[in-house]
C-alpha cells in the first residue's frame, strides 16, 4: 500500500464546552445564596456590572444606553415639568419653602404654638455615646439604636466559663477547664479527648479526667457528658435518684429504645408499677442540656417560585422577586471610559472583555429565570390535583416526563429542580418533592399512585391505630389493596423504616406504656 499526502475538506459539527456555557449550566443548579455570592464576586471584578436592589426606583438605577433618554428629550421634559409647576394655581404646594410662604400670606399656619402641647424633644445623645461612636467608627447623628448597647446572648461556653472560678482554684486546673470547655458541642456534650488535651498541655490524663468530672457538676445539669447514658446518669445523680435499678435502666437504653419493657423489668428487678415510675422519671430529663443557649440561627429558606390560586380559576405561577438578582450593565460608564482610553489597546481589550462577560451574565440570569418558571409551570400543571386535594392526590412524575413536555433535556430539568423551593397554599416544598416513582393499581386500567402518596397513607393508617389494634405490615398491605394500591409487604416495611416508624411489636409496647403512664 503506497503512502501519499492528500488535502481533504471535511465539515463536522461538535459541541464545545466554552467557559460561558459552563457558567450558564452552573447558574441553573445554584441556590439563592450561592447565586448571590457568585454575582457579588462578578461585580467585584467587573466594573461594568451594577446590582440594583428592588427598593431602588427607576431614577436611581444605573441605566444602559438603550434605557437612557437623549439629553435633548430630558431637557424638554424638565422644562415642561417646571412650567406645569409654575402654572399651578393651587394654594397647597408640595415644596416646603413655597408652602410656608403661601401659608404665611393667608395667615393660616397650622403649626402648634402652645409650648405645653408640643411633643417632647428627643433626648440628647449622651456624651459617652458620642465618644463611643468616635472610637468605634460608628456614624454620627441624632439617631441611635438601643440595641447597640444590649448584651449579646450568652453562649454555653461563656456560661460554663463564668462558673469555673467558683469551682476550681488552681490556675492549672482552670487552664485545663478552658480547653475542655472549648470541646463542648451545641448539645452540651464533650466531644474531645482528655488524652489529647492532657498531652497538649503537658499534664497527666488523670488530672484532666478529674477536671472533667468536676465540670460535669456545673449548670445546666448533664453538661460535659460524653454520651447520652452519662448525661442522664449525671442528672439523676444530682436529683439523688441514681439507685441500682435506675442505673441498670440507664445502662440498657437500647432496650428502652426498642420498647422492650419486659426485658427491662427483668433486668432491673422491679415491678411493672415501679418501672412505669422510672420511665416517667427518665422522661423529665434533658438529653440535650446545651439547647437552651444561643446558637447560630438557621437561615430561612426563600422560595424560588410562588404558586397561588388565580382570580379566574387555575393557578398562577410566579417567580419570587426577592430571589431574583437585578444585575444591570452600565453602558454609560463603558462609553465614558472607552473614550478616555481609546489610544491604549490593552485597556480597550479589557473593557471589551468586561462588556462581553457582563452581557453574557445578564442573558444567563434571564435564561435561568425563564427555565425555572417553565419547569415550575409544568410541575404545577401535572400536580394540579395535589394543590387542590392534598398529598393523597399526588401523581407519579419523572424528570423525563417534564423534560419532554417543555422540550428540554432531562439533565437541565434535574439541575433546575435541585435545591429550589416552591411556595404553595399547602406549604413550601422542594421541587424534587413532586417527582416520585409510580406504584401500580389493583384495578385494571386504574391510575397509578405516587410513592409519596402511598407513604402518606401508611403514616395515616399507623397514626389512627389504637393500642389494642396495632396494624402489622400485612394488615397495612390489605388496607392499601382495599384502597386500590398494590404493594408488597417488604415494600411497606421499607417505607415504614424510611419514615422512622417502629415495627408493630415496638408500637404495641410503646402505646400500652403510654396508656399506663396516662392512667397513673
* Most confident range, picked from 94-108, 166-180, 336-350, 503-517: 166-180
Greater confidence (50 vs 24) lies with 50
Average pLDDT on 43-57 reads 75
Predicted confidence at residue 225, as pLDDT, reads 92
Predicted confidence at residue 296, as pLDDT, reads 56
| DSSP strand pairing (421-424 vs 305-309) | parallel
Choice among 30-34, 91-95, 216-220, 353-357 with the minimum mean pLDDT: 91-95
The residue among 120, 125, 123 whose CA lies nearest residue 139 is 125
Predicted confidence at residue 124, as pLDDT, reads 45
* 92, pLDDT greater than 60: no
Sign, CA torsion 177/178/183/184: positive
Predicted confidence at residue 62, as pLDDT, reads 38
**243 DSSP assignment:** -
Predicted confidence at residue 217, as pLDDT, reads 92
Contact 321, 54 (CB under 8 A): yes
* Most confident range, picked from 222-236, 336-350, 431-445: 222-236
pLDDT class for 487, splitting at 50, 70, 90?
confident
Q: What is the 3-state secondary structure (H, E, C) of 358-422?
A: HHHHHHHHHHHHHHHHHHHHHHHHHCHHHHHHCHHHCCCECHHHHHHHHCCCHHHHHHHHCCCEE
Distance CA 431, CA 286 (A): 37
* 120, pLDDT greater than 60: no
pLDDT class for 255, splitting at 50, 70, 90?
confident
- Domain annotation for the chain: domains and CATH numbers: 156-284 (1.10.10.1330), 305-436 (no CATH), 449-519 (1.10.10)
* 128, pLDDT greater than 50: no
Predicted confidence at residue 441, as pLDDT, reads 64
Predicted confidence at residue 226, as pLDDT, reads 92
Please provide the DSSP assignment of 142-167 as one string: S---GGGGSPPPPPHHHHHHHHHHHH
Average pLDDT on 21-46 reads 86
Choice among 166-175, 288-297, 313-322 with the minimum mean pLDDT: 288-297
pLDDT class for 2, splitting at 50, 70, 90?
low
* 333, pLDDT greater than 90: no
Contact 323, 31 (CB under 8 A): no
Contact 474, 459 (CB under 8 A): no
Share of the chain above pLDDT 70, in %: 76
Choice among 92-101, 426-435, 464-473 with the minimum mean pLDDT: 92-101
Strand partners, 466: 469
* 499, pLDDT greater than 80: yes
The residue among 442, 459, 441 whose CA lies nearest residue 450 is 441
* 11, pLDDT greater than 90: no
285 CA to centre of own chain: 30
Give the chain's mean pLDDT. Answer: 78
Distance CA 448, CA 168 (A): 68
pLDDT tens string 185-204: 888 999 989 999 999 988 99
Distance CA 68, CA 494 (A): 62
* 324, pLDDT greater than 70: yes
Contact 160, 223 (CB under 8 A): yes
Predicted confidence at residue 214, as pLDDT, reads 92
Distance CA 187, CA 228 (A): 11
Average pLDDT on 170-183 reads 91
Amino acid at each position: 500500500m503506497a503512502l501519499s499526502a492528500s488535502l481533504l475538506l471535511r465539515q463536522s459539527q461538535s459541541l464545545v464546552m466554552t467557559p460561558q456555557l459552563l457558567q450558564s449550566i452552573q447558574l441553573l443548579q445554584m441556590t439563592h445564596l450561592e447565586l448571590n455570592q457568585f454575582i457579588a464576586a462578578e461585580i467585584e471584578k467587573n466594573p461594568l456590572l451594577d446590582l440594583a436592589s428592588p427598593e431602588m426606583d427607576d431614577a436611581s438605577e444605573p441605566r444602559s444606553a438603550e434605557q437612557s433618554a437623549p439629553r435633548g428629550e430630558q431637557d424638554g421634559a424638565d422644562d415642561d415639568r417646571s412650567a406645569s409647576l409654575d402654572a399651578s394655581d393651587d394654594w397647597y404646594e408640595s415644596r416646603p419653602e413655597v408652602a410656608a410662604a403661601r401659608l404665611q400670606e393667608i395667615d393660616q399656619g397650622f403649626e402648634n404654638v402652645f409650648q405645653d402641647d408640643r411633643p417632647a424633644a428627643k433626648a440628647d445623645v449622651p456624651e459617652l455615646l458620642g465618644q463611643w461612636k468616635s472610637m468605634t467608627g460608628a456614624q454620627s447623628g441624632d439617631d441611635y439604636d438601643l440595641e447597640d448597647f444590649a448584651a449579646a446572648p450568652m453562649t454555653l461556653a461563656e456560661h460554663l466559663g463564668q462558673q469555673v472560678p467558683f469551682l476550681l482554684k488552681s490556675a492549672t486546673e482552670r487552664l485545663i477547664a478552658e480547653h475542655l470547655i472549648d470541646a463542648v458541642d451545641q448539645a452540651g456534650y464533650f466531644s474531645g479527648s482528655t488524652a489529647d488535651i492532657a498531652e497538649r498541655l503537658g499534664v497527666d490524663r488523670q488530672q484532666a479526667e478529674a477536671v472533667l468530672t468536676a465540670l460535669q457538676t456545673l449548670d445546666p445539669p448533664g453538661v460535659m457528658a460524653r454520651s447520652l447514658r452519662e448525661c442522664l446518669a449525671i442528672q439523676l445523680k444530682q436529683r439523688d435518684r441514681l439507685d441500682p435499678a435506675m442505673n441498670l435502666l440507664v445502662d440498657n437504653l437500647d432496650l428502652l429504645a426498642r420498647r422492650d419493657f419486659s426485658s427491662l423489668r427483668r433486668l432491673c428487678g422491679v415491678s411493672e408499677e415501679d418501672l412505669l415510675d422510672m420511665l416517667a422519671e427518665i422522661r423529665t430529663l434533658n438529653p440535650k442540656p446545651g439547647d437552651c443557649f444561643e446558637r447560630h440561627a438557621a437561615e430561612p429558606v426563600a422560595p424560588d417560585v410562588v404558586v397561588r390560586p388565580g382570580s379566574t380559576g387555575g393557578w398562577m405561577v410566579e417567580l419570587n422577586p426577592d430571589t431574583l438578582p437585578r444585575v444591570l450593565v452600565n453602558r454609560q460608564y463603558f462609553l465614558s471610559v472607552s473614550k478616555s482610553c481609546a489610544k491604549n489597546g490593552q485597556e480597550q481589550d479589557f473593557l471589551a472583555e468586561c462588556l462581553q462577560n457582563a452581557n453574557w451574565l445578564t442573558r444567563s440570569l434571564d435564561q435561568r429565570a425563564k427555565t425555572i418558571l417553565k419547569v415550575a409551570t409544568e410541575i404545577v400543571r401535572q400536580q394540579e390535583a395535589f394543590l387542590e386535594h392534598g398529598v393523597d392526590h399526588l401523581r407519579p412524575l419523572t424528570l423525563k416526563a417534564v423534560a419532554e413536555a417543555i422540550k428540554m433535556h432531562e439533565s437541565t430539568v434535574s439541575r433546575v429542580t435541585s435545591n429550589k423551593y416552591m411556595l404553595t397554599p399547602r406549604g413550601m416544598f422542594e421541587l424534587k418533592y413532586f417527582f416520585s416513582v409510580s406504584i401500580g393499581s389493583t384495578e385494571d386500567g386504574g391510575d397509578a399512585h405516587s410513592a409519596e402518596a402511598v407513604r402518606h397513607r401508611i403514616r395515616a393508617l399507623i397514626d389512627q391505630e389504637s393500642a389494642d389494634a396495632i396494624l402489622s405490615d400485612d394488615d397495612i398491605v390489605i388496607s392499601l389493596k382495599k384502597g386500590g394500591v398494590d404493594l408488597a409487604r417488604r415494600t411497606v416495611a421499607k417505607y415504614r423504616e424510611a419514615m422512622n416508624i417502629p415495627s408493630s411489636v415496638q408500637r404495641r409496647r410503646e402505646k400500652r406504656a403510654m396508656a399506663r403512664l396516662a392512667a397513673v
